[in-house]
Structure 1
Amino acid sequence: MLAPDAPQPIRAGEEFDLGRLNEYLREHAPEIGTVLEVQQFPGGFSNLTYWLKTTNQEYVLRRPPVGANIKGGHDMGREFNVLSLLKGHYAKIPEPVMYCETSDVLGAPFYVMKRVPGIILRASMAPKINFAPERMRRLSKALIDNLVTIHKVNIEGSGLAQLGKPEGYVQRQVEGWIKRYRAAETDKLVAMDYIGDWLQHNYPTEQAPAFLHNDYKYDNVLLAPDKTSGEPTPVITGVLDWEMATVGDPLMDLGATLAYWSEASDSPAYRNFNLTWLPGNLTRREVVSRYAVQSGRNLSQILFYYVFGLYKNAVIAQQIYARWKQGYSRDPRFGHLLPMIIEVANKAVDSINRDEF
């Protein structure tokens, strides 16, 4: 039996002053109540996520990692705005409660939302999971079908269109992530240079714009537990981590999902990304086929999006690794990211050379 996602003691260097938080909440969000206990959710390498037990109920607090540039992917105000705009247009989100734009309280902007119960399937849980292949297959189908649902959200009627400029989205993303890599580069990696060049010379025909989650995978999805067995069902109760959500080419979103979608035949290093290598899950080709059928979109150029997804994953890991090298984080996981960056880059080069995903 798998338990709902459980918080753990706060990691060293990522604590905050509970007294200052309660003081701020009493003035700006009294409905939350007094925070009695704080713990931290495990997993993830991006924004920090904390569990708050208050006199009223359970909440979740999100803030940028220590030492991070709060613009872009760590913009808490933007993430809070995304959740606020989604209300009434997509039901499977945590309800946003309040946003604090100042850094005076916790050292960075943050927001609070209601906690959504459910089970998160993290890669680290693989040794504990012994699902029948049919169960994993239903879960993976539900995951992809829900991504299609997200891409069908009305971006005009919801106001989500304000999040970005769809025209030229793919090219801006490629150029932007190349710049991010250069800014965070610590070691000369020929493969990363090769991928960046290939992407700039192989832009696809862009799809009709849609709303994008941009980090969609098992460990950002909450699944309802079966009332008898406690095992996760294909019912998705919530989707988390909307910090990179925007509007643009939806195949960029699918490419990001594929980049995390490890298979049993892949290098064991990819098992750190997802549980998709467990028996019964759709293969990457099956994911593409199901998405094409459910969405009605043309996926003939999906290799580009997959390669970009791998490149972006490598850049994100590089940014985190660079912060660790600069001493902004003491999380020991971050000091071991360089081999993974190299592995992901080599995977992208191999996919380009073999013309397959």
Structure 2
Amino acid sequence: MTTRPGEELPTDRLLPYLREQLPGLDEPLQVTQFLGGHANLTYELKFGDRELVLRRPPFGTIAPGAHDMRREYHVLSRLHPHFAPAPRALLLCTDHDILGADFVVMERRHGTVIRYRLPEEFAGLPTVEERLTVALIRVTADLHRVDAGRAKLTDLGQPEGFAERQLRGWTKRWQLAKTEENPAMETLSRALPRAIPTPQAVSIVHGDLKFDNCQFQPGEPDRVTSVFDWDMATLGDPLIDLAGTLSFWPDPALDPAEMPLPLLEGDWPTKDFLKQQYASFTGFDLERMPWYEAFACFKTAVIAQQLYHRYLQGSTRDARMEKFGLAAKAFARLGVAKLGQAG
């Protein structure tokens, strides 16, 4: 078993449960943790030639509404036939006697994930950064065009008042995770509710659509083959997803020294290119994007602060989280700058 200290799975309870729920798991179990994520914990479960993925919330105190494995299962158990990049969910466990929390088991997908730089599998391909970027934006637009009714996901959320509820929820999470003053966050929490745009459409919103939640077939930079991490998915304004993608894109206003992890390195297209591509795929008017980008920065700052709070509490030993407090301040400042562009 390869896992971070303190994040091991209790296989003495897990293995009998899985064999009871899923047929054919007769081979010995091998567990390997995927170490790239920062919030939900993800593990490969290998039974001989059969491979599965298990996802569970992080250890320690969980913010209300966060890390919702029931929501992830609900989405993935219905979405796959309508959106091929969504992995097929196989099992939801709500019995906390097994792992101490809800967890989901799903099919294992293989491929390449882009985190901070261009993977070797894509090196040397012509205009590869642009092609990967277009693929990311295209899969975002494809998700936003899924008919939630046909996918039987109209119960995923209440679109009316979506942005208002999002703001209230993330502001509450900010207050719970706050460890020190952050004036830019206070500015955003006051200013954002005053200028909420009218949505142009209602779509399935992933909530965290970025490169490291996507997977590509090696050597094929023009198509996203898998999209992961669906625990925040809902129905709402699709431009919130695009803004979330932009918030993780390189920005000259973000100081790399304040980032807990490297920003995307290389010759990548600008944020304006991403917005132009999305507009061409969807036909949406992006005039109000500065507001959406400011909100995305607010949300990213809250997530960073939650991770930093968990680190200060000792709920994780992941040393990367020590700098997330700085990141929360940096994203809040960027959000204030974006909001200023809204006029």
TM > 0.5 fold call: yes
CA contact (8 A) 2:207 2:244 kept: yes
Name the structure 2 match of 1:267.
255
CA displacement at 1:336 relative to structure 2: 2.0
Partner residue of 1:243 out of 228, 231, 234:
231
CA contact (8 A) 2:63 2:176 kept: no
TM-score between both structures, scaled by the size of structure 2: 0.93
Which amino acid letter does the alignment assign opposite residue 315 of structure 1? V
> In 1, distance between residues paired with 2:282 and 2:16?
48
Please say if 1:299 is aligned against 2:286.
Answer: yes
Go from structure 1 to structure 2 and tell me whether the alpha carbon gap of 1:303 and 1:271 turns closer, same or farther (over 3 Å shift).
Answer: farther
Query: Which residue of 156, 161, 170 corresponds with 2:163?
Result: 170
225, 245, 254: which one aligns with 1:257: 245
AA aligned opposite 2:286: L
Offset of residue 270 of structure 1? 5.6
In the TM superposition, what whole-angstrom CA distance separates every residue of 1:130-180 from its partner, at most 9, and x where no partner exists? 556711101100110110000000011111111100001011111211111
1:158 aligns with 2:166: no
* Cα drift, residue 233 of structure 1: 2.3
Q: Distance in 2 between matches of 1:349 and 1:70?
A: 24
TM-superposed deviation, 1:197: 1.0
**How far did 1:69 drift?**
2.4
Match of 1:326 in 2: 313
Q: Does the 8 Å CA contact 2:32/2:45 hold for their aligned counterparts?
A: yes
> Cα–Cα, structure 1 residues 33 and 76, in superposed 2: closer, same or farther, change >3 Å?
farther
Instruction: Please point out which of 190, 197, 211 is paired with 1:197.
Output: 190
* Count of paired positions: 341
TM-score, length basis structure 1: 0.90
Q: Residue 221 of structure 1 aligns with which residue?
A: 214
Tell me how far apart the structure 2 counterparts of residues 70 and 195 of structure 1 sit (CA, whole Å): 20
Counterpart contact for 1:60–1:113, Cα < 8 Å: yes
Alignment equivalent of 1:115, drawn from 95, 108, 114: 108
Structure 2 contact 260–322 (Cα < 8 Å) conserved: no
1:36–1:53 Cα contact (<8 Å) kept = yes
CA–CA distance in 2 between the matches of 1:278 and 1:270? 17
The verdict on how the C-alpha distance between 1:177 and 1:265 changes in structure 2, with shifts beyond 3 A counting, is: closer
- 1:336 and 2:336 are equivalent in the alignment: no
Alpha-carbon distance in 2 for matches of 1:249, 1:149:
14
Unaligned 5+ residue runs, structure 2? none
Residue deviations 1:205-261 (CA, integer Å, cap 9, x gap): 1221001111001101110012xxxxx522221111111111100011111111111
Q: Distance in 2 between the 1:42 and 1:58 partners?
A: 17
Seq. identity, %: 39
Which residue of structure 2 lines up, in the alignment, with residue 13 of structure 1?
6
| AA matched with 2:16 | E
Partner Cα separation in structure 2 for residue 252 and residue 93 of structure 1:
19
Offset at residue 312 of structure 1 (A):
0.2
Instruction: Give distance in 2, aligned partners of 1:153 and 1:31.
Output: 33
SS of the residue 1:98 aligns to: strand
Q: 1:190 to 1:271 in 2, by over 3 A?
A: closer
Which of 334, 341, 345 matches 2:332? Answer: 345
Deviation at 1:98, TM superposition (A): 1.1
1:145 aligns with 2:145: no
d(CA) in 2 for partners of 1:320, 1:17: 24
- Give 2:75's aligned residue: 82
Please provide the CA RMSD for this pair.
2.1
Confirm or deny: 8 A CA contact 2:10 2:99 kept in the other structure.
yes
Q: Check whether the contact 2:77–2:90 (CA below 8 A) recurs between aligned residues.
A: no
Residues 297 and 33 of structure 1: is their aligned pair in 2 closer, same or farther, counting only changes over 3 Å? farther
Per-residue deviation, 1:304: 0.6
String of CA shifts for 1:15-47, please: whole Å, max 9, x gaps: 121121111112222334445210110222110
Equivalent in the alignment of 1:4: none
SS at match of 1:300: coil
Letter in 2 for 1:152: R
How far residue 278 of structure 1 moved from its aligned partner, in angstroms, is 1.9
Q: Secondary structure at the match of 2:81?
A: coil
Q: Deviations over 1:253-288 (max 9, x none)?
A: 11111111114675325693652x521x32111111
Deviation at 1:97, TM superposition (A): 1.2
Separation of aligned partners in 1, 2:112 and 2:295: 29
* In structure 2, distance between residues paired with 1:271 and 1:180: 20
Asked if the contact 1:261/1:273 (under 8 Å) is kept, the reply is no
Q: Is residue 98–residue 112 contact of structure 1 (8 Å, CA) maintained in 2?
A: yes
Asked if the contact 1:32–1:56 (Cα under 8 Å) also holds between the matched residues in 2, the reply is no
For residues 61 and 346 of structure 1, the distance between their equivalents in structure 2, rounded to whole angstroms, comes to 36
Using the TM superposition, give the Cα deviation of residue 354 of structure 1 relative to its aligned residue in structure 2, in angstroms: 4.5
1:115: how far off? 0.6
Q: 1:229 — aligned with what? A: none
Paired residues of 2:114 and 2:212 also in contact (CA < 8 A): yes
Query: Which of 169, 181, 186 is the equivalent residue of 2:174?
Result: 181
CA distance in 1, matches of 2:28, 2:240: 39
